[in-house]
Amino acid sequence: MAKHVDKADPVAAPELRFGGVWQYEPAPETTDHCAIAARYQLYIGGQWTKPRSGEYLATIDPATERPLSEVALAGDRDVDAAVKAAQKAFPAWRARSGEDRARYLFRIARILLERAREFAVLETLDNGKPIKETRDVDVPLAAQHFFYHAGWADKLDLLFPGQRPQPLGVIGQVIPWNFPLLMAAWKIAPALAAGNTVVLKPAETSPLTALRLCEVFEQAGLPPGVANVVTGDGRTGAALVRHPGLAKVAFTGSTEVGKEIQRAVAGRGVELTLELGGKAAHLVFEDAALDQAVEGVVRGIFFNQGHVCCAGSRLLVQESVHDLFVDKLRRRMGRIRVGPPLDKNTDMGAIHSQAQLARIRELVAAGVDEGARLHQTACDLPAKGFWFPPSMFTGVSMSHRIAREEIFGPVLSVLTFRTPEEAVEKANNTSYGLSAGIWTDKGARVLWLAARMQAGVVWNNTFNRFDAASPFGGYKESGFGREGGRQGLRAYVRLAGGLSPG
Ligand code: NAD
């Protein structure tokens, strides 16, 4: 099999290349206002609590491999204490008026915005994503989720008329590392708005913003036990989901772990929502505004280093414009600035972990072996930290692993189609069904396609845009249940039926 690797991309703008291997240490003045403790405990019942095991996990800055802090490894007994704290807090929290719960959520949202800078820096350090994104996307959207759900807390009867919405009880929530603060907000805000109490388990490699969110809860005066955070790894997550005190489990993460969780809760009468992986089709038709589509495709795959479940990782371009579009895309990729995550001019930061980098490398090697052509933007990357250049494969066929498996990195696979029917067939030919994008000038075509595409979210002439009012979730192996909007709140209430009193 012929191998095509086009590493020194001739179209990459030379003035934007890094002059050599750069060293990166965050300047002290940028991190001054974001003090990080040497060690964090568990947040249980409003108290910072040491883990019974006495064990801690290190969390590092993926851009430098510098240790940032240590977080507690919660075991079964710690998880049990957290669930019990949430159970204890539940009767009083559900008994509060919706207006009262809304006040706490508004307060949390406002404090988050007041401390936005600190949260953005902390998220960038712990995750590796560019400050431009944490500042403009992660933190404001997290606050928006608290604002949005505060707005519904006293209007649930209007949202579900005549159905007497009731909270479920204690919710166990497990989240991944790619949007740590935002995923915490997606999970906690609707649960609390509806009168539930929660135990949240952040990812082991990016726990710091969820722990800092507990400081915000304290500052907002949230009653103890309403929101608890237990840090740890997969063992902690597994201990949480099997706890008999839970009324519901909400999980965001890999399809593999999602399936395990589904087995763990089966037959227990526990509600479950799963937000899992994706391999989104991003369609570009010949009549689209191609320059805008290039921007959308870049945002679709290189935003957050491609660590995005709904990333537009399978680009389907109409055959008639394939060469022109790929050429434009390669030129645009040459202008993506890969660099220090805390630099406000950086477009793409560090890969989140050594393990994720290994996975990306393995799949890229598989793509080359299978005969697809690899184009990589020329950039010299530092020896320390985890880095991968913006990459694109052309000549990809549906049978290639890079067209089927979630890479979860800055790697785009380009395929072609001739007709809308073929585009739909190829788009749906995946085990996933989380999101899709369509670039075309024809409104009727968008409606025709959207009705046929098996994807929870279909963007038209844009990509990777999120809003708290808009439901997000998948089909097939991308999971079930929705987050955001009315549908997201539905997953946190029991509808008793009958008329609401009054
Ligand atoms: P992961 O499944 O490995 O881990 C997610 C979380 O689950 C972590 O907190 C982890 O500690 C915990 N966990 C691991 N094993 C567990 C077990 N047996 N029981 C309970 N919890 C367990 O996923 P990841 O690598 O952190 O995240 C990447 C994945 O998440 C990707 O596949 C991505 O597509 C998906 N994701 C989906 C969405 C969505 O909304 N659909 C959003 C973000 C990420």
What average pLDDT does range 386-404 have in this prediction?
Answer: 97
Three-class secondary structure assignment of 164-218? CEEECCEEEEECCCCCHHHHHHHHHHHHHHCCCEEEEECCCCCCHHHHHHHHHHH
With 50 as the cut, is the pLDDT of residue 410 above it?
Answer: yes
Is the CB–ligand 1 distance for residue 78 below 6 Å?
no
User: Beta-carbon neighbour count of residue 492 at 10 Å?
Assistant: 28
Instruction: Give the residue, 31 or 398, on which the prediction is more confident.
Output: 398
CA of 464 to the centre of ligand 1 (A): 19
With 50 as the cut, is the pLDDT of residue 8 above it?
Answer: no
With 50 as the cut, is the pLDDT of residue 23 above it?
Answer: no
Is the CB–ligand 1 distance for residue 278 below 6 Å?
yes
Q: Are 258 and 479 in contact (CB under 8 A)?
A: yes
pTM: 0.93
CA of 320 to the centre of ligand 1 (A): 39
Three-class secondary structure assignment of 96-131? CCHHHHHHHHHHHHHHHHHCHHHHHHHHHHHHCCCH
Q: Which of 118, 123, 204, 275 is catalytic?
A: 275
DSSP line for 362-421: HHHHHHHHTTPEEEE------SSS-----EEEES--TTSHHHHS---SSEEEEEEESSHH
Between the alpha carbon of residue 430 and those of residues 247, 319, 462, 478, the distances in Å are 32, 21, 22, 10
pLDDT of residue 16: 29
Pairing assessment for the beta strands 411-417 and 314-318 based on DSSP bridges: parallel
Is the CB–ligand 1 distance for residue 186 below 6 Å?
no
Q: Which of 34, 309, 310, 379 is catalytic?
A: 309
pLDDT of residue 463: 96
Is the CB–ligand 1 distance for residue 57 below 6 Å?
no
DSSP line for 36-51: --SEE-EEETTEEE--
CA distance 400 to 73: 39
Quick check: is 34 catalytic?
Answer: no
CATH 3.40.309.10 intervals, the chain: 4-24+278-460
User: Which tokens is 357 given?
Assistant: 């980098």
Long-range contacts of 74-77 (CB under 8 A, 24+ apart): 74/42, 74/201, 74/230, 74/231, 74/232, 74/236, 74/239, 75/51, 75/232, 75/235, 75/236, 75/239, 76/239, 77/52
CA distance 384 to 351: 12
Is the CB–ligand 1 distance for residue 309 below 6 Å?
yes
User: How large a percentage of the chain has pLDDT more than 90?
Assistant: 90
Please tell me the residue having the least CA distance from ligand 1 atom 43.
309
In tens, the pLDDT along 54-89 reads 999 999 999 999 999 999 999 999 999 999 999 999
Is the CB–ligand 1 distance for residue 233 below 6 Å?
yes
CA distance 233 to 38: 19
What average pLDDT does range 206-222 have in this prediction?
Answer: 98
With 90 as the cut, is the pLDDT of residue 28 above it?
Answer: no
Q: Are 155 and 54 in contact (CB under 8 A)?
A: no
pLDDT of residue 98: 97
CA distance 2 to 482: 44
User: How large a percentage of the chain has pLDDT more than 70?
Assistant: 92
CA distance 455 to 408: 18
The three-class DSSP label of residue 480 is: strand
With 60 as the cut, is the pLDDT of residue 17 above it?
Answer: no
Which of the listed residues 209, 251, 254 should we mutate to test ligand 1's pocket, taking the one with most ligand atoms within 8 A of CB? Answer: 254
Is the CB–ligand 1 distance for residue 173 below 6 Å?
no
Quick check: is 29 catalytic?
Answer: no
Is the CB–ligand 1 distance for residue 85 below 6 Å?
no
CA of 104 to the centre of ligand 1 (A): 29
Alpha-helical (H) ranges within 273-347 are 290-302, 322-333
Is the CB–ligand 1 distance for residue 464 below 6 Å?
no
Secondary structure letter of residue 348 according to DSSP: B
CATH 3.40.605.10 intervals, the chain: 34-276+476-494
Class level of CATH domain 34-276+476-494: alpha beta
Which of the listed residues 309, 352, 480 should we mutate to test ligand 1's pocket, taking the one with most ligand atoms within 8 A of CB? Answer: 309
In tens, the pLDDT along 237-280 reads 999 999 999 999 999 999 999 999 999 999 999 999 999 999 99
DSSP line for 294-313: HHHHHHHHHGGGG--TT---
Sign of CA dihedral 388, 392, 395, 400: positive
Which of the listed residues 257, 303, 434, 470 should we mutate to test ligand 1's pocket, taking the one with most ligand atoms within 8 A of CB? Answer: 257
Nearest Cα to Cα of residue 210 among 189, 185, 173: 185
Q: Are 24 and 385 in contact (CB under 8 A)?
A: yes
In tens, the pLDDT along 290-337 reads 999 999 999 999 999 999 999 999 999 999 999 999 999 999 999 999
Q: Which helix or strand (DSSP H or E) is residue 482 part of?
A: none
Architecture of domain 4-24+278-460 in CATH? 3-Layer(aba) Sandwich (3.40)
